[in-house]
Amino acid sequence: MRPMKRKLPPKKKITKRPKPHQGYKAREDESLGMRTGKESGKKATLKARRDESYGKWGKRPNQPINRAKGGSAKKQGYKAREDESLGMRTGKEAGKKQSMKDRRDESYGKWGSRPNQRINRAKGGAARHHNTRRENILEEKGRVDAEKAYTRKGRRRLGAEQRRLARELKK
């Protein structure tokens, strides 16, 4: 009889702790150092250099780092954009007697330059133009005249269609 081997408990696996990923600010600092030289050669701090290089709120306003600084994810509204455009073209509101709304209406027309926009339809802008019956027939006649018949039967049908449209126009 053979002697029995004694089973040992399984060895525990030794796992390495994963390294933390480089942060957002650290990445920008490293990029700055590579592009413009290391910090020790500069008078400004890395934070000041980062703000100057990447703008006060960076290029990504929705990132958590920028929202904390005051960056906004909200887009500017239609009227606000028109007001800003007006201010840049004709001067700020404080120097004028009219309200911004009156100036906007006067500058862009009573219903703006885009009558189908939701903001303008609410004010009474037309939704869209409807063709008259005659315009529709003329449009159809133009399409039929441009068509080409490839067989005798097709030529006969095209001729009949052209005569029908000519009769409808005479009505």
Task: Please tell me whether the overall predicted TM-score, pTM, comes out greater than 0.85 for this model.
Answer: no
Q: Is 117 left (phi over 0), alpha (psi -120 to 50) or beta?
A: beta
- What would the mean pLDDT of 81-108 be, rounded to a whole number? 77
Which of the four pLDDT bands, split at 50, 70 and 90, describes residue 155?
A: very high
pLDDT tens column, 22-38: 887 888 888 888 888 87
pLDDT tens column, 95-153: 777 787 777 777 766 545 555 555 555 555 555 678 899 999 999 999 999 999 999 99
Spell out the domain ranges in the chain: 24-69, 78-123, 133-170
